[in-house]
A and B are shown apart, each in its own frame.
Chain A
Amino acid sequence: MASQIPGRRIGIASPISMPEEVEALAASGATEFYCGVAVESWAQRYGNLAWLNRRGVGAANPNLDALRRLVVEANRFAIPVAVALNSPFYTASQLPDIVALCRDLADVGVRRVIVSDPGLILALRASGSTLAISASSVAAIRNSQACEFYRDLGVQRVILPRHMSLGDIQRIKERAPDLEIEVFVLNDGCTYEEGSCATTHAAGAFCLTEWSYAFARFDGAPLSGEERGALDRNVTDYKEWIWYLSNCGHSSSARRLPNGPCGLCAIWDFCRVGVDCLKIVGREAHPHRKLLSLQLVKTVVEQVEQGASKEQAGDFARELRETPDLCDSNYMCYYRDGSGKER
């Protein structure tokens, strides 16, 4: 079947954390890089209570010198680099340091910052910064009016959060056509909405904690056997769902391809509705995992660009993964309404 996809190409944003990763990721199809940045003075002032970009200093964030080398390498392949400054908020006393950091970022050749906090966006605009700004998924922009809100602030791109439906992504793209849209496509799920989560991973991931549950009815009546059974089964299933979100227990397929949250089947639809960029998650992942993740995404994108139908692209993605049992669970899908198979 001939492709219904227009000719424009969809981008792939790959996570990166060191200059040595650039060449292989560039050769495997990355069109954009994003990373964090480590600032020692920030860590000394705030410790683990206020991370600069939702990661600690040691968690695969390059320092400014390494970032400079990373950008130089990326420039060899004409691949722009974005830096995440995506803490849910910054206080008034923190903003001047971050605005100064952004000047340094621009000086080393960073093109874009990924920001959640409207206060930082306004501060960057007030400073005259020329960095492009993506609204982070942490901003939890789930509808077209929220897109317009961030566009009015000066954002050029919105990274939509997890837990979006394909239908909403399409409508957002139609109703906010002047904004670039980036969507999650692979790895690292999240139990809650990042932007509605007030915990910190500095104490261990709240959502991955092995919680025990004790349920009660509001009306004070004892739980029936049926209710207790349904609640217990739900907890068991919930823990299994979290296992999927946690990259299927950080497992790999027989061909060592990384398992975990996945939107490969939805790539055909993303191309059709005009999504601008696919986001692979995992700044702190092992370089090999980043590379394999990118190759997975790029291979499916190529299938779509070469004219695969929606069904063909979905079948191809599932075969590529070689984990039909994981795919059939539904729990590994970022976009359950976009999976290649109707289940």
Chain B
Amino acid sequence: MIDTVPEQKQTVWTNPPPLPGLRGARVYYGPEFCETLLPTPKALLEAYRSRARTFAAFTFVTPPVGEDGLAKLQVLLGLLAQQDQPVEVVVNDWGVLRLVAAMRDRCQPVLGRLMNKMLRDPRITPRIAGESLLAEAVLASQQSALTSQLFSGLLRSHGIATVELDNLYQGIDMDFDGLGLRPSLHVPFGFVASGPACFQAGMHQPKTKKFSNDTPCRLECQTYIGQMTDSAAPGRQAPLLTQGNTVFYRQDAALVERGLAWAQAHGARVVLHQTPFGEGYATENIDLARSWVEAQHG
């Protein structure tokens, strides 16, 4: 539940305006990790219309949901299905996929990052490629369930053609052409862990209301971000960020460059983020993505 915040604030995201060169990109709008942040129907339509003036295409990003979120999404997806152009919908919940698949002629489902399970733990992943680990273990860490023809066939049967990935320190080794799927790579933040209990929402609540699946929200995630360090293990510091209900790793410059080169080689599009939680911009133009990341993140 949103607590004491006017409805229109739900449309406020933390991103500054994108670089002019991104105006032809696809915009990613919607809360990838948090059901509470689902927009109202009015906010969604306003976002859809306002961004249509700037961006080439619209992707609605959806989070894992409970029953209430499912009901909200049924309304929101119904609205999107009535628009002039078909939209993409990133799904991070098998139930949401079921809804979207039923209207796939108007809403093209994309498998979200949360659904593509891979090891993202930055305490470990930067060391995998550099250590003499078991070859099969290393390969398993570079792959996911997508490699199963049964699994990828299941996705295709639900109308999924594109799958989302994080840019991983250990690398990605999957034959997407062979699987009939197109990769979409997120840069420069990857998620590490997420859940229904919001860490930051607790800051404005009495102790007994904190860290629950119904802790009232004042959109703290739109104002604050925290950096996490493990004081007990200074030798293995990972660049971790906590925002809202999710922890992210920030990809270093070398990893970003590796990811962009991988995207170019595999025909992947790149989803660019100004902040871990905010709007994203997807582009197939890797040079453009590279210059945007350099300008925004140094």
Question: Is A92 located at the chain interface by the 8 A CB criterion?
Answer: yes
Interface residues of A in 257-305 (CB under 8 A from B): none
CB distance from A91 to the nearest CB of B (A): 4
Which residue of A89, A165, A190 is within 8 Å of B117 (Cβ)?
A89
CB distance from B207 to the nearest CB of A (A): 5
Which residues of chain A are within 8 angstroms of B199 by Cβ–Cβ distance? 234, 238
Which residue of B94, B136, B139, B212 is within 8 Å of A336 (Cβ)?
B212
Question: Is B284 located at the chain interface by the 8 A CB criterion?
Answer: no
Question: Is B81 located at the chain interface by the 8 A CB criterion?
Answer: no
Task: Choose the segment among A28-36, A101-109, A138-146 that binds chain B (4+ C-beta atoms closer than 8 Å).
Answer: A138-146
Interface residues of A in 198-246 (CB under 8 A from B): 198-200, 202-204, 206-207, 209-219, 227, 230-231, 233-234, 237-238, 241
Task: Choose the segment among A4-12, A65-73, A147-155, A318-326 that binds chain B (4+ C-beta atoms closer than 8 Å).
Answer: A147-155
Q: Are B98 and A145 in contact (CB under 8 A)?
A: yes
Question: Is B22 located at the chain interface by the 8 A CB criterion?
Answer: no
Question: Is B188 located at the chain interface by the 8 A CB criterion?
Answer: no
Interface residues of A in 20-64 (CB under 8 A from B): 44-47, 49-50
Which residues of chain A are within 8 angstroms of B147 by Cβ–Cβ distance? 91-93
- Residue of A at shortest CB range from B68? A168
CB distance from A161 to the nearest CB of B (A): 9
User: In whole angstroms, what is the CA distance A90 to B242 when docked?
Assistant: 28
Q: Are A149 and B67 in contact (CB under 8 A)?
A: no
Q: Are B225 and A92 in contact (CB under 8 A)?
A: no
CB distance from A242 to the nearest CB of B (A): 9
Interface centre among A49, A88, A171 (most CB of B within 10 A): A49
Which residues of chain A are within 8 angstroms of B204 by Cβ–Cβ distance? 230
Which residues of chain A are within 8 angstroms of B114 by Cβ–Cβ distance? 195-196
Q: How many residues of B contact A (CB 8 A)?
A: 77
Q: Are B97 and A142 in contact (CB under 8 A)?
A: no
User: In whole angstroms, what is the CA distance A163 to B194 when docked?
Assistant: 12
Question: Is B223 located at the chain interface by the 8 A CB criterion?
Answer: yes
Count class of interface residues, chain A: 35 or more
Task: Choose the segment among B82-90, B121-129, B251-259 that binds chain A (4+ C-beta atoms closer than 8 Å).
Answer: B121-129
Q: Are B195 and A193 in contact (CB under 8 A)?
A: yes
Interface residues of A in 152-187 (CB under 8 A from B): 153, 163-165, 167-168, 171-172, 175
Q: Say whether, besides A212-B231, A237-B207, A144 and B67 are in contact (CB < 8 Å).
A: yes
Interface centre among B151, B154, B209, B225 (most CB of A within 10 A): B151
Q: Say whether, besides A196-B64, A199-B120, A216-B224, A148 and B141 are in contact (CB < 8 Å).
A: no
Q: Say whether, besides A94-B140, A218-B223, A49 and B214 are in contact (CB < 8 Å).
A: no
User: In whole angstroms, what is the CA distance A150 to B145 when docked?
Assistant: 16
CB distance from A300 to the nearest CB of B (A): 22
Which residues of chain B are within 8 angstroms of A241 by Cβ–Cβ distance? 210-211
Q: Are B202 and A237 in contact (CB under 8 A)?
A: yes
Q: Are B226 and A46 in contact (CB under 8 A)?
A: no
Q: Are A143 and B202 in contact (CB under 8 A)?
A: no
Q: Are B210 and A192 in contact (CB under 8 A)?
A: no
Which residues of chain A are within 8 angstroms of B210 by Cβ–Cβ distance? 234, 237-238, 241
Q: Are B64 and A140 in contact (CB under 8 A)?
A: yes
- Residue of A at shortest CB range from B228? A211
Which residues of chain A are within 8 angstroms of B224 by Cβ–Cβ distance? 215-218, 227, 231
Question: Is A130 located at the chain interface by the 8 A CB criterion?
Answer: no
Question: Is A118 located at the chain interface by the 8 A CB criterion?
Answer: yes
Q: Say whether, besides A47-B134, A126-B150, A163-B195, A238 and B226 are in contact (CB < 8 Å).
A: no
CB distance from A241 to the nearest CB of B (A): 5
Q: Are B231 and A210 in contact (CB under 8 A)?
A: yes
CB distance from A160 to the nearest CB of B (A): 10
Which residue of B99, B145, B214 is within 8 Å of A145 (Cβ)?
B99
CB distance from A244 to the nearest CB of B (A): 9
CB distance from B82 to the nearest CB of A (A): 21
Q: Say whether, besides A139-B94, A198-B117, A206 and B192 are in contact (CB < 8 Å).
A: yes
Q: Are B150 and A144 in contact (CB under 8 A)?
A: no
Question: Is B2 located at the chain interface by the 8 A CB criterion?
Answer: no
- Residue of B at shortest CB range from A140? B64
Which residue of B93, B151, B195 is within 8 Å of A122 (Cβ)?
B151
- Residue of B at shortest CB range from A88? B117
User: In whole angstroms, what is the CA distance A217 to B211 when docked?
Assistant: 21
- Residue of A at shortest CB range from B135? A45
Question: Is B107 located at the chain interface by the 8 A CB criterion?
Answer: no
- Residue of B at shortest CB range from A209? B230
Q: Say whether, besides A209-B230, A241-B211, A196 and B193 are in contact (CB < 8 Å).
A: yes
CB distance from A329 to the nearest CB of B (A): 7
Question: Is B172 located at the chain interface by the 8 A CB criterion?
Answer: no
Which residue of A191, A212, A234 is within 8 Å of B228 (Cβ)?
A212
Contact code string B31-50 (vs A, CB < 8 Å = 1, else 0): 00100000000000000000
Can you spell out 8 A-B residue pairs with CB atoms less than 8 angstroms apart? Answer: A49-B137, A49-B140, A117-B145, A142-B95, A193-B194, A196-B194, A199-B193, A238-B210
Q: Which residues of B line the A interface, CB within 8 A?
A: 14, 33, 64-70, 93-99, 114, 117-121, 123-124, 128, 133-134, 136-141, 143-145, 147-151, 154, 191-197, 199-200, 202-204, 207-214, 222-232, 240, 242, 247, 275
Top 6 nearest A-B pairs by Cβ distance?
Answer: A145-B95, A146-B95, A119-B151, A192-B195, A198-B120, A88-B117
Q: A144-B95, A199-B192 are in contact. List 10 more A-B contacts (CB 8 A).
A: A92-B149, A93-B140, A117-B145, A168-B68, A172-B67, A192-B194, A195-B114, A197-B194, A212-B229, A336-B214
